[in-house]
Chain A
Amino acid sequence: GAGVSQTPSNKVTEKGKYVELRCDPISGHTALYWYRQSLGQGPEFLIYFQGTGAADDSGLPNDRFFAVRPEGSVSTLKIQRTERGDSAVYLCASSPSGRATDTQYFGPGTRLTVL
């Protein structure tokens, strides 16, 4: 079946601009996660949705970052007033139920470059 998809695969923007990154999880998966991966580092947790609600947003670095999942499926990560330090690969993952023992299934990521 189809895996997790993310669009766009690459996004280049200028400092100060607004960007939206989209994640389409595996059908039927109730949990969805966003991570950020900088060069040479592992994925860093940003936010986790259970259904439509954000169950844990403790990883969002500041109020420029916001994510939604209005219908419990597709999610959008929104970054306002982008900064060069936001450049990274943004990964999305989904899991069947959100239990801590679940396997998380990752998408290919969106590479964000802020000039």
Chain B
Amino acid sequence: AQSVSQHNHHVILSEAASLELGCNYSYGGTVNLFWYVQYPGQHLQLLLKYFSGDPLVKGIKGFEAEFIKSKFSFNLRKPSVQWSDTAEYFCAVNGGTNAGKSTFGDGTTLTVKP
């Protein structure tokens, strides 16, 4: 069975600080990896995804993530956060025959202080 672990439950940063949110997954085959974000009062929306090719993926709003197969990781990064990045971030994985059946981590709440 696939699983996702997000180690940081709540991260608090000041504006302009750099961000890295951890995501580790457990799955034996080819994986597709996603980061979703939920801003306060809004729906879950996609930040970025990886399914093949360059393991460094760039998404919206200056976010990027790196797929490191040997570490089963897909960490999310942003060099300089803004107050508007305050949100909950979810890592998700699917793969193999489980097309569409995504497994989500428990999320990381990011609070950015102005």
Point out residues on A near B: beta carbons under 8 Å.
3-4, 31, 33, 35, 40-45, 48, 50, 55-56, 58-59, 91, 93, 95, 98-109
Are the CB atoms of B104 and A42 closer together than 8 Å?
yes
The answer to whether A104 and B102 touch across the interface, beta carbons within 8 angstroms, is: yes
A95 to B44, CA, bound (A): 14
Chain A interface main SS type: loop
| Beta-carbon nearest neighbor of A49 in chain B | B100
Q: Which residues of B contact A48 (CB under 8 A)?
A: 100-101
Task: Report the minimal beta-carbon distance from B114 to chain A, rounded to whole angstroms.
Answer: 26
Instruction: Decide yes or no whether B111 CB sits under 8 A from chain A.
Output: no
Q: Which of A3, A41, A56, A106 contacts B101 (CB 8 A)?
A: A56
Q: How far is the CB of B107 from chain A (nearest CB, A)?
A: 5
Contact A31 B100 (CB under 8 A): yes
Q: Is the CB of A55 within 8 A of B44?
A: no
Which residues of chain A have C-beta atoms less than 8 A from B103's C-beta?
45
B95 contacts A100, C-beta separation under 8 Å: yes
A54 to chain B minimum Cβ distance, whole angstroms, is: 12
Chain A nearest CB from B44 CB (Å) reads: 4
Q: Which residues of B contact A56 (CB under 8 A)?
A: 98, 100-101
Contact of A101 with B51 in the complex, beta carbons under 8 Å? yes
Contact B45 A106 (CB under 8 A): yes
A43 near B90 with CB under 8 A, answer yes
CB-contacts of B56-111 with A (<8 A): 90, 92, 94-95, 98-107
Q: How far is the CA of A31 from the CA of B102 in the complex (A)?
A: 13
22 A-B residue pairs with Cβ-Cβ distance under 8 Å, sorted by A, are: A4-B43, A31-B100, A35-B104, A40-B106, A41-B106, A43-B44, A43-B102, A44-B104, A45-B101, A45-B103, A48-B101, A55-B99, A56-B98, A91-B44, A95-B100, A99-B99, A100-B98, A100-B99, A101-B32, A104-B100, A106-B43, A106-B45
